């Protein structure tokens, strides 16, 4: 893995929480946009013969999203990623990943595909917009049950500055039924890019770079 000079998303959200501040929504959307870009690349990765590898990350969480001081976003730690073509098989029903960031089907121990990562990306976007842990409870069992029920309110319930349009985008990613989510990470990325318009990812990256350098000036 390359060395990324910056911080992970967990550190950013924690630092902002200590200062009683929220991540500006345009940065939350941009970070999610770049996450989806990386996920789409992984999901569509093929072998040398052109056969899809069927990679699913399975552990999209704040500590695995790296943000450089230049405004670049990287997805890290594919250590438990599942590929259809692999040298080993994991046992069905064995939960792998951080419970708070699982999709309903992953929390249920069911077969998963790339739409599971789309759900996890939706969790991170929700948390970036609200500054609150979406599925955090006092026990793993309660957390898993809450995820399976998708018992959540839209981001605007916590942050009234979130628009109805952005609410709808987040809640689509967090649909309980995978068929009702974005078809893939590429479609979610396109929706996020459209939301950012007329700002572009490159402009927002420059602004995020300034924000990061100020936030972690020490």
Known catalytic membership, residue 59: yes
The number of beta carbons lying within 10 Å of the beta carbon of residue 96 is 14
Which residue of the set 8, 40, 47, 59 is catalytic? 59
The CA distance from 51 to 103, in Å, is 26
74 in Cβ contact with 208 (< 8 Å): no
Q: What are phi and psi of 143, to 5 degrees?
A: -60, -45
Residues 6+ apart with CB under 8 A from 90: 82, 96
Distinct helix (H) and strand (E) counts, the chain: 8, 3
DSSP 89-128: -PPTT---S-GGG--HHHHTT----HHHHHHHHHHHHHHH
What are the catalytic residues? 59
């Amino acid at each position: 893995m390359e060395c990324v000079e910056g911080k992970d998303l967990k550190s950013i959200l924690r630092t902002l929480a200590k200062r009683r501040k929220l991540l500006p929504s345009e940065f939350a959307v941009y970070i999610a946009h770049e996450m989806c870009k990386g996920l789409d690349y992984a999901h569509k990765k093929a072998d040398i013969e052109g056969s899809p590898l069927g990679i699913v990350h399975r552990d999209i969480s704040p500590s695995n999203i790296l943000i450089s001081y230049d405004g670049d976003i990287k997805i890290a730690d594919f250590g438990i990623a599942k590929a259809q073509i692999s040298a080993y098989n994991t046992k069905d029903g064995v939960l792998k990943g951080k419970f708070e960031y699982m999709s309903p089907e992953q929390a249920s121990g069911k077969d998963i595909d790339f739409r599971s990562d789309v759900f996890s990306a939706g969790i991170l976007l929700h948390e970036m917009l609200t500054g609150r842990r979406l599925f955090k409870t006092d026990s793993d069992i309660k957390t898993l049950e809450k995820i399976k029920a998708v018992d959540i309110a839209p981001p605007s319930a916590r942050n009234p500055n979130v628009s109805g349009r952005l609410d709808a985008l987040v809640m689509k990613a967090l649909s309980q039924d995978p068929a009702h989510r974005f078809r893939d990470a590429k479609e979610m990325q396109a929706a996020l890019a459209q939301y950012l318009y007329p700002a572009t990812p490159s402009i927002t990256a420059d602004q995020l770079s300034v924000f990061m350098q100020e936030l972690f000036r020490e």
